[in-house]
Amino acid sequence: MQGKLVQYTLFGNDSIQSVTLLKTQGFSNESYLIRTTDHKYLLRKFKLENNRKREFKVQKLAYQKKIAAKPQILDEKNGLMICDYVEGEHKEKLNKHNLTQLAIILKKLHKIQLRETPINLQKSFISQSKEVKKAFQTIQGYKVENVLCHNDLNLKNILVNNKRIKLIDWEFATVNDRYFDLACVCMECDLNKKDEAYFLRRYFGREAKINLDKLTAYQAIYKALCLQWFEGVGEV
């Protein structure tokens, strides 16, 4: 692989020293650490088809807000993307400072303007359980709050470094209701009721009204989507 990378102008004046497969891997990409004379980069070889042009665009916008690594190269022909490497750790549990930082980051993300058709979550389901149907009925009774969402905020996509946080793996990012991201954080970070309330207050502010019914509905939808996703991966 190292020999194929020299074609990119990014490495023209910064020779590649090594390309190493990372120990931690996701389902959608095969990830490598590229070490050059002066820099570190992350190479992601695509394993699943997705809208990678949108991903690259969104990550660039997020980088401008200092909440993501700088994207450098998108090569759809060879099925890969290269961005700056972000140092950090994947924590098993977020403390209150981490939750505060994550709330701040999500507010920044959700203010980014992206002209995209909002995702249709109902069409994402192969079939819907009674619980999921009830959740969608609940949501339909409330105001739609579409923003740019990450849509995959599990702990492996949250990097903590010196008490600061950046988000990685933007392939599912698109326009969605803000409560989907909030529900994702509450579930993936396994927040108890006290920590959930703390996180939501840091996101919305002390005086804002928080729609807990809508949050609960999106949690049910997110849980069902995850089960469908992992069942589908298991069949491949």
pLDDT tens string 4-24: 798 899 988 888 999 999 988
Annotation: CATH topology of 96-235: Aminoglycoside 3'-phosphotransferase; Chain: A, domain 2 (3.90.1200)
Domains 2-84 and 96-235 are alike in CATH topology: no
Range in 103-112, 154-163, 199-208 the model is least confident about:
154-163
Q: Give the model's confidence band at 229: pLDDT under 50 very low, under 70 low, under 90 confident, else very high.
A: confident
Please report the pLDDT score of residue 57 as a whole number: 97
Please report the pLDDT score of residue 162 as a whole number: 80
Count of CB atoms situated within 10 Å of the CB of 127: 7
The encoded tokens of residue 126 equal 């192969």
**234, pLDDT greater than 60:** no
Amino acid at 94: L
> What confidence tens digit (pLDDT) does each residue in 54-85 have?
999 999 999 999 999 999 999 999 999 999 99
The encoded tokens of residue 57 equal 């665009």
Superfamily name with CATH number, domain 2-84: Phosphorylase Kinase; domain 1 (3.30.200.20)
Please report the pLDDT score of residue 79 as a whole number: 94
Residue ranges of the domains in the chain?
2-84, 96-235
**2, pLDDT greater than 70:** no
